[in-house]
Structure 1
């Protein structure tokens, strides 16, 4: 039975703050909500990786639904690219969620943190080399499969992995962001259903509400930051913070 104690305001506050901070950055960059939340939940608060990823994906069902509708209205979706990403992404997401829930959290945690360190370094490099070079896109379906798997197993990374790689390959930025964000709704829906099936709703309900409240409160400020802050600077700073935080969490997990 669902325990109303998880809705206590004092217990929700840390998750509200995490959701708020992650959405500020995501609003400015168009990515990184998942990896920031997962880094803080796993490395700082000690939440088991499967529960952290489940909570994040349930929240992202709401945020990506709004984002997808917005991109649809503004005709930012490239439908051939959408379908080539959707099916591999969903398959990868289900596999990633299944693997994460099938293993003991102590065994998984170092790998998740190592992945988050790698994402942090990737964002740092992207910031230093921003803007990306223009090249012809060649890899799509395998990228969707890998991105979906890592997003579910690592608690985030669909945007940094898929969007960044497509931009580096030379795809049109507006279409890439709109299409990848729209696919992400279906990915988060599938991954969330997989986690809820394996973990149960009680394991994720209270913290998920906190992340959602924080994300909603920060959304207007994130949009403001997108117009005021340099993308290069934000990518570099986020890369540094994620790398340092995840590396510290990895050190504690291995010590």
Structure 2
């Protein structure tokens, strides 16, 4: 793994910018912080997947705390849904961290991304179609388990998997995004602890500092954006982001 030596402020500014943008998107739409930063660390800097995932989750422990607090403040959290989601998510995250630390779990990633791209297109269709019926989602605990596992094993995925599937089931976009972001704090804390037990503190380099600074600055803004943007545009933005990021990940996998 390359060593990172930041000797002046200019060298850390790109990481601050990426962390800010990724957290702003994640806080407003309920996804993308892990995917954007893991892609940067693995594809651009050549960091091994397990170390990249551990590093991103360490940063997310702080950014999700700030983002979750923002969503709680703006009353974007459905606490009943939160209770059904958080424990399975933590269990799945711990299992995913163990798997990624010991075997290659990247084989299934293109298939997961293809599924998420299809979900993104469906959300775009629902937003374009017009009236959106809001109802209580039925499949929550299994979704949290799978989402937590894929998030840790794939370096990101809690938001894309959980947010998108809850929206498909009819959950209100604003409260879905707020609840998923708030529960993510407990997931990322669990995953970070799991990675420390498996690979130690090797992943926590200075490269994560810029991501942390940018993420913490942007985190309070996500709750406000999710509260202010109407339901249909919010669902359309989630669908667009999910489709584009999934398609890009598939393209990367096919061109290795």
Q: Say whether the fold is shared (TM-score over 0.5).
A: yes
- Counterparts of 1:205 and 1:137 in 2: how far apart (Å)? 40
Q: Give the match's secondary structure for 2:202.
A: helix
Taking the TM superposition and a 5 Å limit, the aligned residue runs for 1:6-85 are 6-9=5-8, 12-85=12-85
Taking the TM superposition and a 5 Å limit, the aligned residue runs for 1:131-146 are 133-146=133-146
Cα-to-partner distance string for 1:48-104 (whole Å, 9 max, x where unaligned): 21112112111111121122223333444333322221211110000001000112x
- The RMSD of aligned alpha carbons is 3.2
Taking the TM superposition and a 5 Å limit, the aligned residue runs for 1:236-255 are 237-239=240-242, 241-253=244-256
Q: How far 1:241 sits from its partner (Å)?
A: 3.8
Q: How far 1:34 sits from its partner (Å)?
A: 1.4
- TM (normalized to structure 1)? 0.79
- Counterparts of 1:247 and 1:87 in 2: how far apart (Å)? 30
Taking the TM superposition and a 5 Å limit, the aligned residue runs for 1:67-106 are 67-103=67-103
Cα-to-partner distance string for 1:143-166 (whole Å, 9 max, x where unaligned): 111111111111112122212222
Q: How far 1:221 sits from its partner (Å)?
A: 7.7
Greater share of helix: 1
Q: Which residue of structure 2 aligns with residue 180 of structure 1?
A: 180
Give the unaligned 5+ runs of structure 2. none
Cα-to-partner distance string for 1:161-210 (whole Å, 9 max, x where unaligned): 21222222223444333322221111111101111222222322222212
Q: Give the match's secondary structure for 2:137.
A: coil
- The number of equivalent residue pairs is 248
Does structure 1 residue 119 correspond to structure 2 residue 116? yes
Give the unaligned 5+ runs of structure 1. none
- TM (normalized to structure 2)? 0.79
